[in-house]
Structure 1
Amino acid sequence: MAYSSRTHFLHWLLLALLLIACDQAVKYGVSAWLPLHGSVEVTPWFSLVHVLNPGAAFSFLAQAGGWQRYFFTLLGLGVCGLLLFWLWRGVSSRIETLAYIGLIGGAMGNVLDRIRIGAVVDYLDLHWQGWHWPAFNLADVFVIGGAVLLVLASARQGRSGVTPAPGAST
């Protein structure tokens, strides 16, 4: 019998909720423990910080005047709804299923921040000498991980010569 995400849809939904809960718990802890704009150096190349990002990745549109909060909230909800629908219909790849779960968990973690406080709580800060990566959070890690898994799933499907439509069950 071929794999289908629909068979265990509830389990996948619970995993996505667990990712969201982990993200929100860490953000709550950082917000309670570290004052806004505070920083604690952990290593010479890594610090814990407490910053708010009203924009998207790399503070894209952070200075846009406020409309971006609603835009990114609706975009995140729409993408999550579409991915959940595809999972419910039945994705035929375990890697793609995990990718969708990571994308849902990460996107919803950041959507909840936007709804709750109007910006995303970021706290992971990587830096080395003159180079500095923008602060990010666990939800961002889930989204990047999901995107990487989607690329892997796509490459795997490309090698097999079969490219099913998203959500299609084979």
Structure 2
Amino acid sequence: MSLKKAYLIVILVLLADQISKIYVKTHFMHDGFTEVFSWFRIQFIENEGMAWGTKIPAWLGGKITLTLFRIGAVGLIGWWLWDSVKKKQSPYLITSIALILAGAFGNIIDSVFYGVIFEHSMGQVAEFSTANHYGKLFEGKVVDMLYFPIVKGSDGNTLFFNAIFNLADAAISVGVGILIVFNKKAFPKAE
């Protein structure tokens, strides 16, 4: 696979991710939702930390440490993509890396810029604003919106798959899934 094709994957995933996040951020109040099916909702939340809202403690630098770590990781993943294309590695591997890179970069955009380009979303629909922004550079919140409450208990609470995520997270998960399921094709042994 060529570097152009790999970058096309990154750009398309990144555009879909950012368009969906900006739409949700500017059309939903925090915790607002639209039920698409009984098993699928568009539900707007913001994540200040890592997966499932895990945060880095303040004494370790908090949000800025997480954002700087993400930027470093994206640099390494970008190099891995370039190196894999240069070495003519498997298309499975290159596609996986491109998806992971796009997802990681999509969440970095939120973390770096959203705090300084959007108003807060609590009790109101956010608008683009540089005067009334909700945070600082490198301290933005990641927008999540895809919710699949597939199995609910008798009290209505979700028992299975209660995570709310975004397209960037999905791209990362699909990329990792391809590496796991197609491991032998992604990392063929030299003959």
Residue 109 of structure 1 corresponds to which residue in structure 2? 106
After superposition, the Cα gap between the structure-2 partners of 1:12 and 1:121, relative to the gap in structure 1 and judged at 3 Å, is same
Residue 82 in structure 1 maps to residue 76 in structure 2: yes
State which drifts further: 145-154 or 47-56.
145-154
Q: Tell me which amino acid in the other structure corresponds to 1:136.
A: F
Listed one character per residue, the Cα deviations across residues 95-132 of structure 1 (whole Å, up to 9, x for unaligned) are 00000000011000001000112111000112131325
Question: Is the 1:69–1:119 contact (alpha carbons within 8 Å) kept by the matching residues of 2?
Answer: no
Question: Is the 1:72–1:111 contact (alpha carbons within 8 Å) kept by the matching residues of 2?
Answer: no
Q: Tell me which amino acid in the other structure corresponds to 2:148.
A: L
Offset at 1:153?
4.2
Matched residues, number: 155
Structure 1: segments with no counterpart, 5+ residues: 164-169
State which drifts further: 75-84 or 89-98.
75-84
Residue 136 of structure 1 corresponds to which residue in structure 2? 165
% of aligned pairs identical? Answer: 26
Residue 145 of structure 2 corresponds to which residue in structure 1? 123
Residue 166 of structure 1 corresponds to which residue in structure 2? none
Structure 2: segments with no counterpart, 5+ residues: 116-139
State which drifts further: 146-155 or 112-121.
146-155
Residue 9 in structure 1 maps to residue 3 in structure 2: yes
Residue 148 in structure 1 maps to residue 177 in structure 2: yes
State which drifts further: 96-105 or 37-46.
37-46
Listed one character per residue, the Cα deviations across residues 18-45 of structure 1 (whole Å, up to 9, x for unaligned) are 2111100000011111112212222222
Question: Is the 1:54–1:68 contact (alpha carbons within 8 Å) kept by the matching residues of 2?
Answer: no
Q: Tell me which amino acid in the other structure corresponds to 1:106.
A: G
38, 42, 57: which one aligns with 2:36: 42
Question: Is the 1:77–1:111 contact (alpha carbons within 8 Å) kept by the matching residues of 2?
Answer: yes
Determine the C-alpha separation between the residues in 2 that align with 1:153 and 1:74. 31
TM, length-normalised to structure 1: 0.80
Larger helix share, 1 or 2: 1
Determine the C-alpha separation between the residues in 2 that align with 1:20 and 1:72. 20
Determine the C-alpha separation between the residues in 1 that align with 2:52 and 2:9. 27
After superposition, the Cα gap between the structure-2 partners of 1:41 and 1:13, relative to the gap in structure 1 and judged at 3 Å, is same
TM, length-normalised to structure 2: 0.72
Residue 94 of structure 2 corresponds to which residue in structure 1? 97
Offset at 1:46?
1.8
Residue 72 of structure 1 corresponds to which residue in structure 2? 66
